[in-house]
Chains A and B, each alone.
Chain A
Amino acid sequence: MSAIRIQQLYKAYDGVAVVDGVDLEIAPGEFFGLLGPNGAGKTTTLRMLLGMTPIDGGQVEVLGLPMPEGERAVRERLGIVPQFDTLDPDFTVIENMRTYAAYFGMAGPEVDSRIDRLLAQVNLNDKRGARINALSGGMKRRLTLARALINEPEVVVLDEPTTGLDPQARHHLWRQLRALRASGVTLVLTTHYMEEAEELCDRIAIIDHGRIIACDAPSRLIAEHIEPWVLTVGGTDAGEVLQRELGPKDRAHQVADTWLVYTAEPDRLRERLRALGHEPTLREADLEDVFLKLTGHELRD
C-alpha cells in the first residue's frame, strides 16, 4: 500500500485551475520532494493532502484512508510542519509541547518523557521554560519539528521548513530529517532550495501550472533532462562569440549579464572561449539547472 496516493487531483479558485490533474504515489519510507515555482500548486496540493483545502476533483488517499473524510484519523498519524509559524506565543516551549500533545488526546508521564526526548533531540532542552518570542528563527523551526513528532507520526509533511534559516540551522534540520528517514518515516517536503532537495530526497516531483512536469530520483532527473555540463561565461559580449562557436546540440541561455551554456562536450568550446579572452567556468549540471529548464527563467510572483 502507498503512504500517499493522489489521482487526478484538481483544484480551482474563481475558475482558474491551480492544481490541474496531479497524480502521485509515495511509497512508505520514501523521502519525497515537491518542487515548483511560487504559485505552481505545491502548497495547495499539500493542503488537500492534509484535509485543509476542499478537493474540487480527483482522489486523495493517505495511509489508505480517503481525504477529506478520513481527516481526523489521518492527522492522528501525521506530523505537519507548516510553512508559517503556528507556535503558541502565550506559552513556553514545554507548554507548547504539552498543549499540542493534548490536541492529540495525549497526556501523562509517558507523554512527558516523550517530550523530554524530543526536546533533547532538537537541542532545546535548556529552553524548556523560554517564551516563544525569546527563541530564534532556527529554534522555532526545531520546536515546530519536535512538536510535529509528538504523536510518533508515520508520515511527516514539511512545507518549506528551511526558508529563512541560516546554514547551521538548515544542516541541523537536515540531520533530523535524515534520522527520521532512517527510522522508516515517510517524508514529504516542499522547498525552494534545489541542493536541499537533491541532498535529501529519494524522489522529486517538479510541479508547474498545477501539473507535474517531471518526477524521478534527482540523479535521474539530471541525467534525463539536462546536458551534463554547464559553462558559465561572464560579460554580455560573450553572446556574439557563443553564436558562432556553439555546438549543434549545445544550448545557451542568458541570465542577467552571464551566459549559461548547457553542453555534453564542454572542452572545445571552453578552449575557444579562452582563446578569445573569456574566462569560462565549468561545472556539472545540477537539479537547479533541470528546474530552470523545465519551469523557465522568468520571474514568478
Chain B
Amino acid sequence: MSGDHPILPRPSLRFVAVWRRNLLVWRKLIVPSMLGNFGEPILYLLAFGYGFGSLVGDLDGMRYMVFIASGIICSSAMFTASFEGMYSAYTRMAEQNTWLGMLATPLTLDDIVFAEAVWAATKGLISAITILIVASVLGLVADARALLALPVIFLAAFTFGALALVITALARSYDFFLYYFTLAVTPMLLLSGVFFPLTELPGWVQGLALALPLAHVLEIVRPLMTGTWPAAWLPHLAVITAYGGSAIILATYLIRRRLLR
C-alpha cells in the first residue's frame, strides 16, 4: 500500500459543515467585517466617482462613476476573497489548528480546502452584493441584468480565494502575503480596467492584464452592469474557470503536502 493520494481533489458535500463554521464566526464579527468589506470600497467609489468623475467626464460613453462602479465591485470581490484565503485561512491552518481539529472527524483535507475557497467566494459575493445595492441606490446600475453579474463574481471570487490558498500553502508567516499582494493583486487592480479602460494601456501591458483573471471578470461584469450584453463572454469565463480549477487543485495538493506529511 502506498501513501499516494490522487492529484485531483475529491471534496464531498461535507464541505458545507466547514463553510457553515466560517459563516457562524463571521456572523459574530459582522460589524468590523462588513466595515472592511463594504465601507472601504464604497469610499473608493464615492471619492473617485465624484472627485475624478468631474475631471474625467464621460468614459466609454458612460459617466465615470458608472464606469468605476463595476470596477470597484470586481476589485472588492477580488480583495475580499484574497484576504480571506490568505490571512484568515492561514490563521485557521497555522495559528488556531482549526483544520487539524477538523481532520479528526470524517472531514478530509479536500473538503476543508474546497470549503475555504467557497467561503472566500461567499465573502467576495457578500461584498459585491452590498456594493451593488449602494450603486443601484445611487443610480449607477442600468437594469436587472446586473444580477447576472453576481454568479460571475462568485466564480471569480472562488478563483481569487483558491489562488490565495495556494499562497497560504506556501506561507511561513503573514509577511509572505505582501509578495502576492504587491506582485499580483495590486498590478491586477491597476491594470485590469478597474479605474480606466484597458485600451488606454500599451499593447504589451494589455496582453499582460489579459493573462490574469481580473480583466476577464470586468469584461463580463461591466457590460452587465451598464445595460448591455458582454461580447464573447465564453472565453472570458473559460479563463476565470481555468485559473480557479488549477488553483484549487494546486492549493489542495500543496496544503496536503504541508499538513499531512
Contact = CB atoms under 8 A, between A and B. Distances in A.
Interface of A: 13, 50, 52-59, 66, 68, 71-73, 75-76, 78, 80, 82, 84-91, 95, 99-100, 102-105, 148, 151
Contacts of A87: 101
B103 interface: yes
17 contacts: A54-B2, A54-B260, A55-B1, A56-B2, A57-B1, A68-B5, A75-B104, A84-B97, A86-B101, A88-B21, A91-B24, A99-B21, A103-B14, A103-B18, A103-B106, A103-B107, A148-B104
Given A53-B261, A88-B21, A102-B21, A59 B101 contact: no
Interface centre among A50, A59, A100 (most CB of B within 10 A): A100
Interface of B: 1-5, 12, 14, 17-18, 20-21, 24-25, 28, 96-98, 100-108, 260-261
Contact of B1 (A58, A71, A75, A82): A58
Contacts of A75: 104-106
Contacts of A57: 1
A69 to B, nearest CB: 8
B11 to A, nearest CB: 12
Contacts, number: 82
A86 B92 CA distance: 10
A296 B98 CA distance: 37
Nearest to A96: B101
Contacts of A103: 14, 17-18, 102, 105-107
Most buried by B among A13, A80, A82, A99: A99
Contacts of B260: 52-54
A72 B108 contact: yes
A54 B261 contact: yes
Contacts of B21: 88, 99, 102
Given A75-B105, A86-B98, 15 more contacts: A50-B103, A50-B104, A54-B4, A54-B5, A59-B1, A75-B104, A84-B100, A86-B104, A88-B101, A91-B24, A102-B21, A103-B14, A103-B102, A103-B107, A105-B17
Contacts of B20: 102
A151 B2 CA distance: 29
B42 to A, nearest CB: 27
A44 B92 CA distance: 23
Contacts of A91: 24-25
B103 A52 contact: yes
Nearest to A150: B105
B97 A55 contact: no
A53 to B, nearest CB: 6
B24 A82 contact: no
